Structure 1
Amino acid sequence: MTLFATTEQIPLTTDADGVIRVGSTRVTLDTVVSAFNDGATAEEIAQQYSSLNLADIYAVIGYYLRRRPEVEVYLLERQEKAARIRRQNEERFDPHGIRERLLARRAVQKPMSDVAASG
């Protein structure tokens, strides 16, 4: 039997928002790298994310290990973007006192039993 050296594609795709996903799944590169860095094996990642192919997980981990600095920059940029969006959302929608505001709104609204009785 003869084995041939081949060049295989890394199963990573970038979606319209610039998010890198594994294969044709919705699972992100961030997710696989995070699980791997938390000590999960490729098999454990495959069990946790059944849409992923085990060979794809190994390929992605290999890609990460060979290009760790570039991937780390990408992951840091994603974390910074997420933090920025979180801050913007908190500025637009003040989370403080939300329970009280919702309870006050509910108290002002007519109870459903009153609506049913008047119909």
Structure 2
Amino acid sequence: MVRQYVEQRDGGYWVAGTRVSLDSIVYAFLEGQTAESIAQAFPVLSLEQTYGSIAFYLANRPAVDAYLGTARDDYEAQRRSARVADPMFYRKLADAKRQIQAAPS
């Protein structure tokens, strides 16, 4: 019997039957995490599902990498748009960050 570990829905890739995105698995894998550590980080996933998701990524790497690149580009565009829409908020946020970093530990 062939199992499907990854499904496409809502414009993205997901571990079949879960709310865990393939993105999460792939980024952890690319950061050098083992399937075992990834499965521990996502208790809803079995080790089999984790390995299946990694195998799906490796078998479909060009398509998944293109999808991840598009998602990253969309995120950056939204981030830039938010900065343009409310520059005062981001200025205050940057000032607060500088104050926290300048405070003695």
Partner of 2:72: 79
> Alignment partner of 1:97: what SS?
helix
Distance 1:24 1:93, change over 3 A: farther
RMSD: 1.8
Larger Rg: 1
Separation in 1, partners of 2:42, 2:72: 21
Letter in 1 for 2:85: R
Instruction: Report the structure, 1 or 2, having the larger helix content.
Output: 2
**Structure 2 residue runs without a partner (length 5+):** 96-105
Q: CA deviation at 1:22?
A: 1.6
Distance 1:97 1:61, change over 3 A: same
Distance 1:9 1:86, change over 3 A: same
Sequence identity, in percent? Answer: 34
Q: CA deviation at 1:98?
A: 5.0
Partner of 1:97: 92
Contact map agreement 1:12 1:20 (CA 8 A) in 2: yes
Residue of 1, 5, 10 corresponding to 1:10: 5
Contact map agreement 2:57 2:64 (CA 8 A) in 1: yes
Separation in 2, partners of 1:22, 1:12: 6
